[in-house]
Structure 1
Amino acid sequence: MKLMNQINCPSNADYVVDEFEESPPMSTYLVVYMVSDFVYTEANSENDQVKYRIICKKDLANQTEFAINLGPKILKYHEDYFDEKFPLHKQDMAAIPDFSSGSMENWGLATFQENCLLIDPDVATTAGVYEVAQFMTHELCHQWFGDFVTMKWWTGLWLNEGFTEYAAQRGVDTLFPDSKYFQVKNVKNFVDVLDPDSLQSAHPLSVAIEKPDEIAPISMDPMTFAKGAILFHMMNTFLGENTFKQGIRNYIHKYKLSNAEPDDLWSLLTEEAHRQGTLEKNLTVKQIMDTWALQTGYPVLNVVRDYSADTVTLSQERYLTIKSHGTDNKTCWWIPITMTTSGDFNQTNATFWLNCENNNLTTPLAKDNEWVIYNMQMTVLFRVFYDTRNWMGIICTLNDPSKYETIPTLNRVQLILDSLSFSQIGQLDYEITFQLLKYLRHEIEYTPWFAALNGWRKIDDLLKRTPKHAVFQNNMRDMLSCVYSKFRNMDEKVNGYENIQLQSLVISRACEYQTKDCIQRVLDIFRKWMKSIDPDNNNIMPKDLKTTIWIRAIQYGCEEEWNFLWERFQRSNIETDRNYMIIALGSTSIESLLLRYLNWSLDESIIPRNYASAVFKSITLNEAGFLVAKEFFYCKISDIYEYYQQGGEIYVLGVYVNYIASQMKTKEELEEFQSFITKSSRYFKEPDSFIKQITETITKNIEWTAKFYNKIVQN
């Protein structure tokens, strides 16, 4: 709250007494106070009603300009969206050293890791600037949706985080209108959700919380944010922008300074949708959304065409990557169906609904010489499985350079994601998937490449440490050759957020897959930086490629390069740079450096605590580092536990387990993992469902290896 008065303490001259404005009614978990010798930068909101401050360490004050200029614009954006003035007289944003969470929405005093709030756009990557903007927009959105109106209980946490994540991504897209930020983040949401939510051991968004230590795992779960954001985007689409926004406003107006639950929001959205005529009178938002929020997983839409009768039969079932015997797969969802056969992808309102009552539906369709695509603009969370003839029709269009763009970018993304996943479980022949992916030779958009390379990453991980990995890398170099040639001149400036992202992605993967030209160019730039007179103040490399160059230069460089970047990390006070340097340093192939780095990660005097898990992750995902990281974790579990117990962050051990398990793919590794968990159970507070999910992931990897290892590199 606003500081009203400060007086000297009459009984002790060394103390002062601060008197603050009385707070409005608020939830206790949103109360925070801060005592520090930090400095602040100050501005007023656009209507001069709110004092806005950025608080940080004195030596970082020169990195507050971006946040102090953007913050009032974000407040105005949210005031307009919610049609509700900011309810407090001041809003502080504090950058906290070694803060365990990325950020926290305490009412009137939001707290952040330093790299999530402080940034210098002149030296930071474009992606880093937008990420800071999203953190800020997310936490300021919470000041209304979460603080002004608070959930009744933690089972509603997904509603708060899902909406604010969606609103933040939309907000950044609005504040930076040329960025296409929302499209990029929405695709990444799908990528974060589709695989983990296809496991038997996945959990629904709405999770029963009974004990305090159950809150952190859910509040840190990417599913809470990403799947929630996808579902709010789906609602915004099938209700329409105006209906959805007015329903959200009605929710804020009705429940401000009190508590609410998901059903309260569903009721108000239904009322508004019926009033505006955007939802049939016999339907409610609760009917629809309960199937998505209260049930585990998501559906696959099976499309079976009768080409002689020009009809199609649609059916749904839960999509599972491992179907165990006795699996009850009768779960069904209310799915808004959109489709096209003519290339008109702009109609995203539901043509009709597929639900439990008409779960197997036959409808008229187009002529037999046309392909059909469902889920226009990828607005709903489901996969689509077509018959072979339809797949081949789509492939024919995609592989024609003059026609592939008739299928919009987001639908190209879904075709890539779905085909790779269907092939991974043996439902679609890899030959068909690889025929589809050949079209990428003329693809120029970032998100399809991101989807494809993410899917290939899974294959790459499964082939690491095997004789066939080199053959796969050779195939990947060939696939990337055309798009790499477009970006190989690393000194040439690229404009536009998507193009910048594409350049960074392509160069990173081309180097990773051992493209000689890429490796040499990266090392030349890095070594030129090493020879500069003042490397800490004269970083000569292209700012949007520097993180990629750091990672690949360390991967292919020697101990000299590693020591140079470590020295830069120690001297830098730019937290966004330090964050990426930590990751890059874990990319070396020198085992002695990796082991030393892991030991340093548990010494807070060398590496700040909030970077420790990033060190472990970077080494685990490093082909040369996985066995080193696994052995370190198994042998040092008591030390790791004690380290995080001191900071009250025991839940981080679950993150470590996730990292190493994702790279396991043999029965021996699974048995070793299960034995370790049994012997070390006292160190883990995660529920049994978490261990089951990890075990299922490893089992899925084992099954894929048994089915496809000898086949995959032949294609």
Structure 2
Amino acid sequence: MAKIERFYNTFQPDHYDVYLDIDRKNKTINGKTTITGNASVPNIAVNQKGLHVTSVQSANQELDFTTDNEAEAIRITLPQTGNTTFTITYDAKLTDSMMGIYPSYYEVNGEKKQIIGTQFETTFARQAFPCVDEPEAKATFSLAIKFDEHPGETIIANMPEDHVEDGVHYFEPTVRMSTYLVAFAFGELQSKITETKSGVKVGVFATKAHQAKELDFALDIAKRAIEFYEDFYQTPYPLPHSWQLALPDFSAGAMENWGLVTYREAYLLLDPDNTSLEMKQLVATVITHELAHQWFGDLVTMKWWDDLWLNESFANMMEYVAVDALQPDWHIWELFQTSEAPMALQRDATDGVQSVHVTVNNPAEIDALFDGAIVYAKGARMLVMVRALLGDKALREGLKNYFAAHKYNNATGADLWTALGDASGLNIGEIMNSWLEQPGYPVVTAKVDENGDLTLSQQQFFIGDGKDNGRKWQIPLNSNYDAAPQIMADYEINLGNYEKLRQENGHPFRLNRGNNSHFIVKYDETLLTDILNHVDELDPITQRQLLQDLRLLAQGQQVSYASLIPLLAKFKDSKSSIVNAELYQIANSLKMFAKPGSPAEQELREFFDKLSKDQVNRLGWLPKDGESNDDQLTRPYILSATLYAENPTSIKQAHQIFAEYENKLENLSADIRGFILKNEVQHFGSEELFDKLIKLYQQTADASFKQDLRMAVPSTTDPALISKVVSYFENANVVKPQDLRAWYHGLLVNNAGQQAAWNWLRDEWQWLNDTVGGDMEFATFITVTAGIFHTPERLQEFKAFFEPKLDTPGLTREIKMDISVIESKVDLIKNEQAAVNKAIAEQN
């Protein structure tokens, strides 16, 4: 297994002159890169991957060099140490892997076109130009780009264009930055540009396949976000412009290249006249996440990839802080409760999960660090805990000092804790290291002991088998009783006589108010009954948290899964979208206990009907003018439930709406369109309808409409059409590689299509590896599969296929964890199936 060499230790680059001549037709690059820096030894190395190096020169003298492909390096012998300048001449291929410099494909009026873009995170700058491709190796970059230019094309980069000479576009030198943040793009682009109060130009760029109005929402959010961050961070945005670019092919969600942020089209562009509130919230949080990085990640960058959380956890928290300030009517922290919190709690309960701070020994392991549930979601929860402990005044003061101390340089987690600790007077590092360095999280058991005392104890929580290593956390308890300390640092604490405490406080005892700390609570029967007797007095976040913690405890077999079922009826009429989100997460999890086509499944459908019927009548199918955000966000859960229940009235209503919009499906309300299309495919499907939807999918540039079609088409139960879906998986003219995982998931979750999807994955694993293997999301094909499988048969098939791949760098942890995930479900079903199905029947 290759080890990572740190080339920065012997050669520190200071400036790059990067010249690229790009031939789109032949997919080739001719490059010349001049690097100035300091060499502490004569034998140095710089990174390259896939470059054909023809010459290395210094002061017009040819230098000895060798290309070391295994180490992704060029090894160079310099004539002397100290300050040096050398030029590397090379050629390379444009990739089709959505990494390095690559073409993005799209259509306008049936004509196939492409734009060229870049993706250099994590270690793909080396595919474009030779460099010390490490975050610590910050330098300035002068880009000069020549391409087979056509009239009406635009080229953009991190910095403004300086001049054009002999067809070469020269850009102003960048500030000191890491290689992975360099970016440029060119092609036929439309744009809308505005300016912030401080004079920063803000622009949104997209292909001409889109309507101009689709750029407006992003432009407004981006402008206001930069103004917000300049004020919150008390640190000016350091570049002349901030461009936001939608790329038709993009492997990640978005990428924070300094001054030129790149996005999937779905996460930047939207139709202001027909987009759901949920999608607007998603786009806004993606934009504010990437713009938070312009300071936290770009201005100050982690020293090495083991501190990736420094970038991502912080940006993940700040996206909510920013959107809450920009759109307070959205109550965006509720989205944090339905996305980040449950994702982190679920993933982090599996034994073998990575800690937020992770050591990296192998280049392939760098991409595996990007575990959304841990480095993003759990890390964000950690920082929400910090924010709650510090308050915004100390947080902002600490960040201002952090930026001032480390701007244009690199930092570690310890540097952040020092800055925040100095501003607040709290030893933040001591508190947070227990969360940063250890995997997992605790369950705090609250009980009234035999002496009548209220006691709290902490122990690591596992779903499935887990080795208890006696880990201990410093837990911000956020209790509603003053008797509980601010931080629980011991394994067990005694708060005193419960009856006395209950009388003094006058309300049930609770922990983790606001659900901001990364732990769950197991109340004993006395305490839980007291809370449930006053459940109507609780705010939606607390109600949701109660259900969420019980669901996790049931998955961990610490409480009976069957005991959750009667609780759902208590909340079925809730008008809170976040309560309904958790209610239906529990309800949907019951599907694994009922075999397809069994009487138990029919009982479950009837139970879904009872849960959803009154809400369907209250909300109706079509959105109404002036309805609350909660109603808009609740409707999808309710419609999904009523269709699973096979409620004949709902099936008929959905069919009638489809008939009304049959020739203008894109005009159907985006709030409900996916459910209407899915209902039609499942209950009124035909090959003619299937082909029509596929054609619409290929033709539309509306990412929201594409998503709805992607939800509907793989839900077909027709074996011939299922085969047709599979045939499109490797046809990039239909299913782009960036969207393949969503199509695969859609078919895998469909009982009728699961076998075909699973066969495809196993048969075409090598093709998949060749196509998206360099993508940081490649391993999530394994995660998605494990998220659906729950039978002993599927477990054995999963192990038979993936265990031989355990030694694959970047996949080892994922495979081990996902085997554990499926094993835990198989064991849970074996132990609870009879009780769960009995409890469901008793509700009907």
TM-score by length of 2: 0.76
Amino acid at match of 1:353: I
Map of 1:201-280 to 2, 5 A cutoff? 201-219=352-370, 221-274=372-425, 279=426
Structure 1 counterpart of 2:210: 60
Structure 1 counterpart of 2:446: 303
Per-residue deviation at 1:669?
A: 2.0
CA 19–635 in structure 1, closer or farther in 2 if over 3 Å, else same: closer
Structure 2 counterpart of 1:446: 577
Per-residue deviation at 1:58?
A: 2.1
Report the 3-state secondary structure (helix = DSSP H, G, I; strand = E; otherwise coil) of the residue aligned with 1:195: helix
1:507 aligns with 2:631: no
CA contact (8 A) 1:383 1:418 kept: yes
CA 472–32 in structure 1, closer or farther in 2 if over 3 Å, else same: same
CA contact (8 A) 1:556 1:589 kept: no
Q: Aligned residue pairs: how many?
A: 675
Encode CA deviations 1:447-479: one digit per residue, 9 max, x unaligned. Answer: 111112112222213435362222222212212
Report the 3-state secondary structure (helix = DSSP H, G, I; strand = E; otherwise coil) of the residue aligned with 2:534: helix
Q: What is the distance in 2 between the residues matched to 1:307 and 1:442?
A: 38
Structure 2 counterpart of 1:17: 168
Q: What is the distance in 2 between the residues matched to 1:520 and 1:249?
A: 58
Per-residue deviation at 1:491?
A: 5.3
Structure 2 counterpart of 1:103: 254
Amino acid at match of 1:425: G
Report the 3-state secondary structure (helix = DSSP H, G, I; strand = E; otherwise coil) of the residue aligned with 1:586: helix
CA contact (8 A) 2:616 2:639 kept: yes
Q: Structure 1: which 5+ residue stretches go unaligned?
A: 10-15, 342-346, 399-403
Amino acid at match of 1:123: N
Report the 3-state secondary structure (helix = DSSP H, G, I; strand = E; otherwise coil) of the residue aligned with 1:628: helix
Amino acid at match of 2:243: D
Per-residue deviation at 1:610?
A: 1.3
Per-residue deviation at 1:331?
A: 0.5
Per-residue deviation at 1:554?
A: 2.5
Report the 3-state secondary structure (helix = DSSP H, G, I; strand = E; otherwise coil) of the residue aligned with 1:40: strand
Report the 3-state secondary structure (helix = DSSP H, G, I; strand = E; otherwise coil) of the residue aligned with 2:205: strand
Structure 2 counterpart of 1:704: 828
Map of 1:559-708 to 2, 5 A cutoff? 559=686, 560-645=688-773, 648-649=774-775, 652-678=777-803, 684-708=808-832
Structure 1 counterpart of 2:515: 378
Per-residue deviation at 1:661?
A: 2.1
Aligned residue among 540, 544, 551 for 2:678: 551
Amino acid at match of 1:699: E
In terms of Rg, which structure is larger?
2
Amino acid at match of 1:239: L
Q: What is the distance in 2 between the residues matched to 1:421 and 1:218?
A: 25
Per-residue deviation at 1:139?
A: 0.9
Report the 3-state secondary structure (helix = DSSP H, G, I; strand = E; otherwise coil) of the residue aligned with 1:518: helix
Per-residue deviation at 1:664?
A: 2.0
Q: What is the distance in 1 between the residues matched to 2:475 and 2:647?
A: 44
Per-residue deviation at 1:61?
A: 5.3
Amino acid at match of 2:478: T
Q: What is the distance in 1 between the residues matched to 2:173 and 2:494?
A: 59
Per-residue deviation at 1:445?
A: 0.7
Report the 3-state secondary structure (helix = DSSP H, G, I; strand = E; otherwise coil) of the residue aligned with 1:150: strand
Map of 1:382-393 to 2, 5 A cutoff? 382-393=519-530
Aligned residue among 494, 497, 520 for 2:629: 497
Q: What is the distance in 2 between the residues matched to 1:642 and 1:550?
A: 33
CA 34–450 in structure 1, closer or farther in 2 if over 3 Å, else same: same
Report the 3-state secondary structure (helix = DSSP H, G, I; strand = E; otherwise coil) of the residue aligned with 2:446: strand
1:8 aligns with 2:165: yes
Report the 3-state secondary structure (helix = DSSP H, G, I; strand = E; otherwise coil) of the residue aligned with 1:193: helix
Per-residue deviation at 1:652?
A: 4.5
Structure 2 counterpart of 1:361: 494
Q: What is the distance in 2 between the residues matched to 1:666 and 1:435?
A: 25
1:526 aligns with 2:666: no
Report the 3-state secondary structure (helix = DSSP H, G, I; strand = E; otherwise coil) of the residue aligned with 1:549: helix
Aligned residue among 499, 517, 534 for 1:397: 534
Aligned residue among 281, 285, 294 for 2:428: 285
TM-score by length of 1: 0.90
CA contact (8 A) 1:602 1:643 kept: no
User: Which has the larger share of strand?
Assistant: 2
CA 55–422 in structure 1, closer or farther in 2 if over 3 Å, else same: same
Structure 2 counterpart of 1:13: none
Per-residue deviation at 1:156?
A: 1.0
CA contact (8 A) 2:394 2:423 kept: yes
CA contact (8 A) 1:104 1:110 kept: yes
Structure 2 counterpart of 1:336: 476
Q: What is the distance in 1 between the residues matched to 2:527 and 2:764?
A: 53
CA 85–562 in structure 1, closer or farther in 2 if over 3 Å, else same: same
1:516 aligns with 2:648: yes
- RMSD between aligned alpha carbons? 2.3
CA 395–4 in structure 1, closer or farther in 2 if over 3 Å, else same: closer
CA 135–45 in structure 1, closer or farther in 2 if over 3 Å, else same: same
1:316 aligns with 2:458: yes
Percent identical = 23
CA contact (8 A) 2:562 2:835 kept: no
Q: What is the distance in 2 between the residues matched to 1:2 and 1:664?
A: 48
**Relative to structure 2, which stretch is displaced further, 77-86 or 475-484?**
475-484
CA contact (8 A) 2:337 2:541 kept: no
CA contact (8 A) 1:137 1:168 kept: yes
Amino acid at match of 1:696: S
Report the 3-state secondary structure (helix = DSSP H, G, I; strand = E; otherwise coil) of the residue aligned with 2:751: coil
Amino acid at match of 1:657: I
CA contact (8 A) 1:377 1:408 kept: no
Encode CA deviations 1:396-454: one digit per residue, 9 max, x unaligned. Answer: 223xxxxx0x2121111111011122233332234543343331134221111111211
CA contact (8 A) 2:215 2:269 kept: yes
Amino acid at match of 2:551: L
Q: What is the distance in 2 between the residues matched to 1:133 and 1:619?
A: 29
